[in-house]
Structure 1
Amino acid sequence: MKNRIQNNVTGTLTTVFIYLILFVAQFGLIFYVSTFLNEYYDVARYIFYILDAIVAVQILNDRGNDPTYKMAFLFTIIIFPFFGAILYVLGKRDIIRARFSQLLEKRKEDTQHRFIQDPKILEKMKETDPLSANTARFLWNEEKYPTYHNADMEYFTSGEEYFKALKRELEKAEKFIFMEYFILQQGKMWGEILDILKEKVEQGVEVRILYDGTAMLTKVPLNFPKELEKLGIKTFVFKPIIPVLSLYQNNRDHRKILVIDNRCAFTGGVNIADEYINEKELFGHWKDTGTLTYGCSTRSFTLMFLNMWNVNNKEKEDYEPYLLTKCDGFYEYKEDRFITPFGDDPYGENRVGKEVYNDIVNQGVDYVHIVTPYLIIDEETKGDLIHLAQSGVEVKIITPHIPDKKMVFLVTRSYYKPLLRGGVKIYEYTPGFIHAKSIVSDDKKAVVGTINLDYRSLFLHFECGSYFYDEVLAKEVEADFQDTLSKSHEFTYEMTKEFAYWERALGRLLRVFAPMM
């Protein structure tokens, strides 16, 4: 068994090396051809000028892209004429990506009518807080994500707490288990989960696991899906990496969803790997968060999972057996607790995660507190945060002190100076890396999920989260924020001047290419 695993790991590393060579070769070929033609053929040079101009106009008029994204490609075209234009054309006319988008849209159409919004719940929410009700109406009217009354939920302040509850709920599974994670890596965490899953399969429980295709490069062996299938666990690899230049591969499944019997659902920042429960130390202490919700709201997570699971299936699946909780009536609870689970994808017209985050920021009265591993924001979000701080609202952001990606860390720190100058307060989590993703405001509303405050999460990845209008949960998130704050050190505007010149220069340069990072 040990030798087989070793052989699998060796095969995986060989595949990574081959893919890397093929990617570099494709980039090199395009660059060489463009440079050769531009240097030796005057006609080609003028054709390139015309192509660059046409593509630049197209970029500027493209409704679907953020200004930062446009700037990154325009800058690339200026530095590498024709080469930059070809990269953009390849991305916009990407057959693989377009085909996947069409398939995803079909699956969303299959499930859209199964998302049910009781209008009485929105009216009740409007009476409680009209602005929060506006956010809920946006999620329903634009994206068909309903708001539910939900009296039972748990908030986890660490991966260790999350893992303990996860095992507890898996043990209770009777009908099905759906798992969707960005990272799945063999180790203690996965080993203990797998033991429970095997036991549940033997009891007749249906188990499905969906994980992102990037895991096949370094996290699990290439034959991992086949090994799970032998155990009776249905497995789907989302967008396996293929050695072809395509923006199809840039849009990853960054979601973390675990649904059990349509009875309860987990989400948050925690992946299935040992660093998330501090069983393995990579970048100091790993701080993460998550939520567990019960009842009707689980229906939305179930449908989100099935949409992704069936994206490549030609035949429609009957979803009804998995929607065990009837949510077509009005569920009254003693407390005014509202939850809207939502998903985000890079193919839709709306940047759902960004809109929800910006709503909370713009509706802030007393405070807005944010925890994020990366801080790479567009001008609109930066302006909103500064405007809020200048309006007298307390705006605090916690980022890691020990980074997992040094280049991204340089870009994150490049935003400190303008934000600090604008009155936003920034802290770094001293013990290590903070992977939690949350925003909380005014002891009333919060979002906990998978969405980082960076370009990739807000524009390029598949994400999910829960929007809570719930004083009980919001106060728990805020208490956790204050505890994390006590373990963090504050950055001041003067401290940004102490950054090495090369760090500041490189960070600003990399900001131009942030959408491509």
Structure 2
Amino acid sequence: MKRILRYYVNKKEVEREYNVIPFRYILAILITVFEVAAIIGILVALCYYVPYFYVLCWITETACVINIIASDDNPDYKVPWLLFVMILPVAGFMLYFIFYSRKLKRKYVRRLKALKDNAYHKNDGELIEKLRRENPVAASQAKMLCYIAEAHLFADTRQTYFPLGEDMHLQILSDLHKAERFIYMEYFIIEEGKFWNSILDILKEKAAAGVDVKIVYDDVGCMVTLPGDYCKTLKSYGIDATPFSRLKGNADSEFNNRSHRKISVIDGKVGYTGGINLADEYINEFEKHGHWKDTGIRLEGEAVWEMTKLFLIDFGINVKRMPDMKAEMFPEQKDIREEGYIIPFGDGPHPLYKRRVGKSVIQNMLNGATRYVYMTTPYLIIDNDLCLSIENAALRGVEVRIIVPHIPDKKLVFGMTRSFYKRLMDAGVHIYEYKPGFIHAKSYLADDEYAMIGTINLDYRSLVHHFENGVWMYRCESIGDLKHDMEATFEKSIRVTPDVCKTNLIQRFIRAVVRIFAPML
């Protein structure tokens, strides 16, 4: 079901169709609320009517508090859960049991292991040693990232940097036309419009010609952009499609752990990622929050293997029949000769990833920088640990610059972003707001040598809860293009002054309360 949205661009009224929330999603949410309310209601009734049952609840609550305190989780994540458990009798510890951590079924674990085992295999020892002879620090960072992300180090990979979504749009259409074997695409948001429809026309044509076309889109990310049964529409075109973590109304973490990844792979030879979703605002086809600034990167070479693996794992854990991982999905490309080292990698929630991968990459860049670190992010809602890393870099004399939007997409989140300004600025961090509109890019650059481009924002949703992906680069040609673009973006941005940080008592109180529960949002 669709509705008409009317808005103004340069005083001109524009109409746009959008999907309302399909009934399937509403039903799933209502079932979840009912399940949680029923469970809590039954326990409250037992405490009231069954003698001494409340003693058992008190012991359980105490055990939950001890378990939270003793866990290895970030203290910023522990505090809101401790408040819930201690302040809300019965309901607090039941919410803890239901939502605190992602629960993995044995079947899910077995399938995940099988998909990883059947993917490509690569020995990084020789390449790591070559990098160590060039730069021991870079080699140690690469080795750690490969270990915690279960990824691999690559060289001889051609890169193309895109400073805007519309630049990537033109190139990806060209590459899709050349597909011969398979096209794999995974995105947090897909929305019908010029961007997606131009891609879909090619996908339908390729599927009809026998090319293996697979699509993964996040079920929550596309809740209001696609019909609830859109995968059936795609399947009618010969496209093998599935929503990521389809909402079924289960009282667990299915609402929380979404796929925020953006991956396109063509024949295992060309791969795309970055912050760009497949919707028209990302190519500035229409103005949603001013000018939409986003970035992307195209890889050509054997580093694309890792992106193929990530996609097939995400696809495989969301369909009934696991996809076959064949050798031809990971073709050798010995004819490409490029400078630099690259690690495409994935990140995600516990227990699938035992370490915070994206956060570790960013902290390594901050800790190793000697001259500057530039970062762009649409949101700035970070834990104390990452905040200290940013401050310490600035206090060492490293020029740390962060660009965030000037026109927000969510006012409450923007208020939380601004609540970090004063602390960071007091340590010498330079903060900029992108004046023309909304910056959605997730780009990180240090000392002309290290860079990371991907889907990872500086907020809890990206750093803790979501499935994410990125590309770590060392001394790659595209790093110069990224720096040039960042310098141009600084020129279009407003340097934040202390006056912006001034707030009234009510604003400070609201931000303080919201920041406590930010890790759970």
- Provide the TM-score with structure 1 as the length reference: 0.91
* Cα distance change, pair 227–483 in 1 and its aligned pair in 2 (3 A): same
**Does 1:434 find its partner at 2:439?**
yes
Q: CA deviation at 1:447?
A: 0.1
**Does 1:214 find its partner at 2:220?**
yes
Q: Is the contact between residue 268 and residue 329 of structure 2 (CA under 8 Å) also seen in structure 1?
A: yes
Tell me the secondary structure at the aligned position of residue 298 of structure 2: strand
Q: Is the contact between residue 361 and residue 368 of structure 1 (CA under 8 Å) also seen in structure 2?
A: yes
Q: Is the contact between residue 115 and residue 300 of structure 1 (CA under 8 Å) also seen in structure 2?
A: no
Structure 2 segments unaligned to the other structure (5+ residues): 4-16
Q: CA deviation at 1:222?
A: 2.0
**Does 1:514 find its partner at 2:521?**
no
Could you say what the CA RMSD is over the residues aligned between the two structures, in angstroms? 2.6
Tell me the secondary structure at the aligned position of residue 52 of structure 1: helix
Q: Is the contact between residue 2 and residue 20 of structure 2 (CA under 8 Å) also seen in structure 1?
A: no
Q: Which residue of 2 aligns with 1:81?
A: 89
Q: Which residue of 2 aligns with 1:50?
A: 59
Q: CA deviation at 1:86?
A: 0.8
Q: State the Cα deviation string for residues 241-261 of structure 1 (Å, max 9, x = none).
A: 122221133111111000001
Tell me the secondary structure at the aligned position of residue 381 of structure 2: coil
Q: How do 1:3-18 and structure 2 match up within 5 A?
A: 12-18=21-27
Q: Which residue of 1 aligns with 2:480?
A: 475
Q: Is the contact between residue 104 and residue 308 of structure 1 (CA under 8 Å) also seen in structure 2?
A: no
Q: Which residue of 1 aligns with 2:12?
A: none
Q: Which residue identity does 1:59 align to in structure 2?
A: I
Q: How do 1:3-402 and structure 2 match up within 5 A?
A: 12-30=21-39, 32=41, 43-63=52-72, 65-91=73-99, 97-99=104-106, 102-103=109-110, 105-111=112-118, 114-215=120-221, 217-312=223-318, 317-326=323-332, 333=337, 336-346=339-349, 347-402=352-407
* Cα distance change, pair 324–342 in 1 and its aligned pair in 2 (3 A): closer
Q: CA deviation at 1:41?
A: 7.9
Q: Which residue identity does 1:514 align to in structure 2?
A: A
Q: State the Cα deviation string for residues 488-507 of structure 1 (Å, max 9, x = none).
A: 1111234312x233222211
Q: State the Cα deviation string for residues 376-425 of structure 1 (Å, max 9, x = none).
A: 11111111111110100001111111222222222222211211111111
Q: Which residue of 1 aligns with 2:11?
A: none
CA distance in 1, matches of 2:20, 2:171: 35
CA distance in 1, matches of 2:381, 2:462: 10
Tell me the secondary structure at the aligned position of residue 202 of structure 2: helix
Q: Which residue identity does 1:191 align to in structure 2?
A: N
Q: Which residue identity does 1:380 align to in structure 2?
A: D
Q: Which residue identity does 1:211 align to in structure 2?
A: Y
CA distance in 2, matches of 1:158, 1:149: 26
Tell me the secondary structure at the aligned position of residue 117 of structure 1: coil
Q: CA deviation at 1:324?
A: 4.2
Tell me the secondary structure at the aligned position of residue 98 of structure 2: helix
* Cα distance change, pair 470–489 in 1 and its aligned pair in 2 (3 A): same
CA distance in 2, matches of 1:295, 1:10: 38
Q: CA deviation at 1:204?
A: 2.1
Q: Which residue identity does 1:61 align to in structure 2?
A: A
Q: Which residue identity does 1:74 align to in structure 2?
A: L
* Cα distance change, pair 408–26 in 1 and its aligned pair in 2 (3 A): farther
Q: Is the contact between residue 115 and residue 144 of structure 1 (CA under 8 Å) also seen in structure 2?
A: no
Q: Is the contact between residue 242 and residue 319 of structure 2 (CA under 8 Å) also seen in structure 1?
A: no
Q: State the Cα deviation string for residues 127-179 of structure 1 (Å, max 9, x = none).
A: 22221111111122343311111241100001111111111111111111000
Q: CA deviation at 1:30?
A: 4.9
Q: Which residue of 2 aligns with 1:464?
A: 469
The aligned length equals 506
* Cα distance change, pair 340–511 in 1 and its aligned pair in 2 (3 A): same
Q: Which residue of 1 aligns with 2:10?
A: none
CA distance in 2, matches of 1:359, 1:369: 14
Q: Is the contact between residue 12 and residue 216 of structure 1 (CA under 8 Å) also seen in structure 2?
A: no
* Cα distance change, pair 174–313 in 1 and its aligned pair in 2 (3 A): same
Structure 1 segments unaligned to the other structure (5+ residues): none
CA distance in 1, matches of 2:291, 2:405: 10
- Provide the TM-score with structure 2 as the length reference: 0.90
Tell me the secondary structure at the aligned position of residue 251 of structure 2: coil
CA distance in 1, matches of 2:19, 2:390: 47
CA distance in 2, matches of 1:270, 1:132: 28
* Cα distance change, pair 345–107 in 1 and its aligned pair in 2 (3 A): farther
Moved more, 142-151 or 472-481: 142-151
Q: State the Cα deviation string for residues 287-317 of structure 1 (Å, max 9, x = none).
A: 1000001011111111111111112456654
CA distance in 1, matches of 2:356, 2:184: 26
Q: Which has the higher helix share?
A: 1
Q: Which residue identity does 1:340 align to in structure 2?
A: I
**Does 1:409 find its partner at 2:418?**
no
Q: Is the contact between residue 400 and residue 430 of structure 1 (CA under 8 Å) also seen in structure 2?
A: yes
* Cα distance change, pair 101–366 in 1 and its aligned pair in 2 (3 A): farther
CA distance in 1, matches of 2:452, 2:505: 36
